[in-house]
Amino acid sequence: MNPAGSDRREFLAAGSSAALAASAPAAERPAVNNPRATSGDLAVEPDWAERLTMDVGVAKGAIVGTDDKAIQAAVDYVARLGGGTVRLSPGTWRLRNSIFLASGVRLAGSGPETILAKEAMAKARLVADSDWFDQEITLAEASAFRVGDGVCLRCRNPHNGSPTVIKRTLVARDGNRFKLDKPLRENLWQMSEATAATLFPLITAEFAHGMVVENLTLDGNRANNENLDGNYSGCVFIQDCRDVAFRKVIARDNNGDGISWQVCHDVSVTGCQSTGNAGLGLHPGSGSQRPVIRDNRLARNDIGLFFCWGVRHGLAEGNSIEDNRVGVSIGHRDTDNLVVGNTIRRSGKNGVLFRAERGKAFAGHRNELRANTIIDTGGDGAAAVEVEGQTGDLTFESNILRETRAPSSRVGFRFAPGTGKMTMKDNVVSGFAKEIDDQRTR
């Protein structure tokens, strides 16, 4: 038997060792200095010097064609080999369906003269009821539709009256009956005024990562297509993607959004133009984390830059935002974003709008506006920066708000009743009837 003193010494020694271990810094894993391609390892990949490049042209290339099928064939081939580049020559491609991107694919044009243009819309009503488990539709007039077309199926939900919107591709036909690429999973009934129309985003992707789109023009043919909002479409529409870059893309003249991304993380949009779109120029959509929006031109859209729901830790820097109804809109749980060094001119309503939401818990708190220039905003009574609802903890620093027209009753900053703390520092406000309309104290 050990003496009692021995047990005590062992206990104290063990306690001392545990204390030292607890105070020691946590160990780090060894760095990966020589990565290898390993089955299933998506986190670490060697930086390969060369990947597959497929040239697509309207007159010459590995694939020759002038429609979506030629581009899609190249995208699918490159994706099957693990990624690479689809390189488009100068020319115009007429699209009857989206270009569906895939992980690891870079779609690169040759500049503004590489044009992907949407064909004019065809539309018809459904003349047979289709249930949620069906995978076909029957159209009243089918002569303008083709196998391979992208379609948007819409109706009033027969159970609650809300809109139903379904995007599919026509994959087979027999007269005016068409098979779809996927089941409906919604009821499309004649009593709900169900229709089919060839509406689709020009470029799209779902559940993909590591994509690049650059150096090309997307033309939405606004005059010949009905509106489809940015929750479903745009010149670009991607959903549930990550690590995506758009560089030097022109998204123009769409009856909807320019570039829309929904629940997508670490998306960067740099050096792009989004102009003349009926909806939103750039639409970082619901739940999208850490977007970087830099050095773009956003002009003549309804809203230039629209932070949707729950967009956080984003950066909007150095953008030119002109002649939109609203320049920048921030709202539902859009928190901890930085808007810096942008020039916002001639907005029809507000230069920057913090939207009224459902209450304090839903507002866009802890956002910062720094070193922006906002010029000539709205009509009589407009505010260059409008903060609504119960939004608070905002920082406005070193911004220039200038009105070069007659002051009228315009104001620089307006804080609605119920808004919270505002940090104001070194802002310059000139030419307005009132620099700050602070309604919190009324």
Reference 70, options 90, 103, 105, 99; nearest CA is 99
Cα–Cα distance, 398 to 386 (Å, whole number): 17
Phi-psi map region of 83: left, alpha, beta (phi>0 left; psi -120 to 50 alpha): left
* Eight-state DSSP code of residue 151: E
Residue 363 Cα to chain centre, angstroms: 20
What pLDDT, on the 0 to 100 scale, is given for residue 40? 86
Cα–Cα distance, 124 to 143 (Å, whole number): 10
The residue type at 164: T
What pLDDT, on the 0 to 100 scale, is given for residue 185? 94
Residue 4 Cα to chain centre, angstroms: 71
What pLDDT, on the 0 to 100 scale, is given for residue 160? 84
What pLDDT, on the 0 to 100 scale, is given for residue 1? 47
What pLDDT, on the 0 to 100 scale, is given for residue 17? 57
What pLDDT, on the 0 to 100 scale, is given for residue 47? 87
Q: Are residues 106 and 53 in contact, defined by beta-carbon separation less than 8 angstroms?
A: no
The residue ranges of the chain whose pLDDT is under 70 are: 1-23, 442
What are the tokens at 412?
A: 């620089």
Own/partner contacts of 67-74, CB < 8 Å, gap of 24 or more, are 67/93, 67/94, 67/95, 67/96, 68/93, 68/95, 68/96, 68/97, 68/98, 68/99, 69/148, 71/99, 71/107, 71/116, 72/97, 72/99, 72/100
What pLDDT, on the 0 to 100 scale, is given for residue 237? 98
- In sequence order, the 6+-apart residues with CB closer than 8 A to the CB of 220 are 118, 202, 235, 251, 252, 253, 254, 255, 256, 277
298-335 pLDDT tens trace: 999 999 999 999 999 999 999 999 999 999 999 999 99
Strands 150-156 and 163-174: antiparallel
Q: Are residues 410 and 381 in contact, defined by beta-carbon separation less than 8 angstroms?
A: yes
Domains of the chain, start order: 52-119+199-441 (2.160.20.10), 123-197 (2.40.30)
Q: Which position has the token pair 């505002």?
A: 422
What are the tokens at 61?
A: 């290339």
Threshold 0.85, pTM exceeds: yes
Q: Which position has the token pair 């545990």?
A: 18
User: DSSP 3-state assignment of 114?
Assistant: strand
